[in-house]
Amino acid sequence: MRDAAPPALVVMGVSGSGKSHVGAALAAALGAHFLDADDLHPEPNLRKMAAGVPLDDRDRMPWLDAVAAWIAAWQAGGEAGVVACSALRRSYRDRLRAGAPDLGFVHLAVPRDELARRMRQRRHFMPPSLLDSQLAALEPPAADEDACTLDGTRPMDENIARVRAWLSTRAVVNG
The number of folded domains in the chain is: 1
Question: What does the angle CA 2 – CA 30 – CA 77 come to, to the nearest 5 degrees?
Answer: 55
Q: State the pairing for strand pair 81-84/104-109.
A: unpaired
pLDDT in tens, 23-69: 999 999 999 999 999 899 888 888 887 787 877 889 889 999 999 99
Q: What's the one-letter identity of residue 164?
A: R
Whether residue 88 contacts residue 61, with contact meaning beta carbons closer than 8 Å, is answered with no
Per DSSP (E only), the strands in 86-174 are 104-109, 147-151
Specify the DSSP class assigned to residue 41: -
4 DSSP assignment: B
Q: Per DSSP, which regions of the chain are E strands?
A: 8-12, 33-36, 81-84, 104-109, 147-151
Q: Work out the pLDDT band at 1, boundaries 50, 70, 90.
A: very low
Domain-embedded: residue 21 = yes
Confidence (pLDDT) at 175: 34
Asked if the structure places residue 175 within a domain, the reply is no
pLDDT the model gives residue 144: 92
Q: State the DSSP code for 104.
A: E
Domain assignment of residue 40, yes or no: yes
pLDDT exceeds cutoff 60 at 140:
yes
Q: Specify the CATH number for the domain of residue 18.
A: 3.40.50.300
Residues 99-125: pLDDT tens digits? Answer: 888 899 999 999 988 888 887 776 656
The answer, yes or no, to whether residue 21 has pLDDT greater than 90, is yes
- Residues 52, 100 contacting (CB under 8 angstroms): no
In a domain, 174, yes or no: no
Stated as kind and residue range, the H or E segment containing 116 is: helix 112-121
Identify the pLDDT of residue 15: 83
Q: Does any domain span residue 2?
A: no
**87 and 12 in contact (C-beta within 8 Å)?**
yes
In the DSSP assignment, the letter for residue 146 is S
Domain annotation covers residue 1: no
Task: Give me the pLDDT at residue 9, please.
Answer: 96
Give the structural domain span for 104: 8-169
Examine residue 111 and state whether it is found in any structural domain, yes or no.
Answer: yes
Could you report the per-residue pLDDT of 70-104, keeping only the tens digit for each?
Answer: 999 998 888 999 999 999 999 999 999 988 888 99
Dihedral sign of CA atoms 117, 120, 96, 3 in order: negative
Kindly indicate the confidence band of residue 174, based on its pLDDT and cuts at 50, 70 and 90: very low
Q: Mean pLDDT across the stretch 128-133?
A: 71
Residue 161 or 59, more confident: 161
Instruction: Tell me if 28 is assigned to some domain.
Output: yes
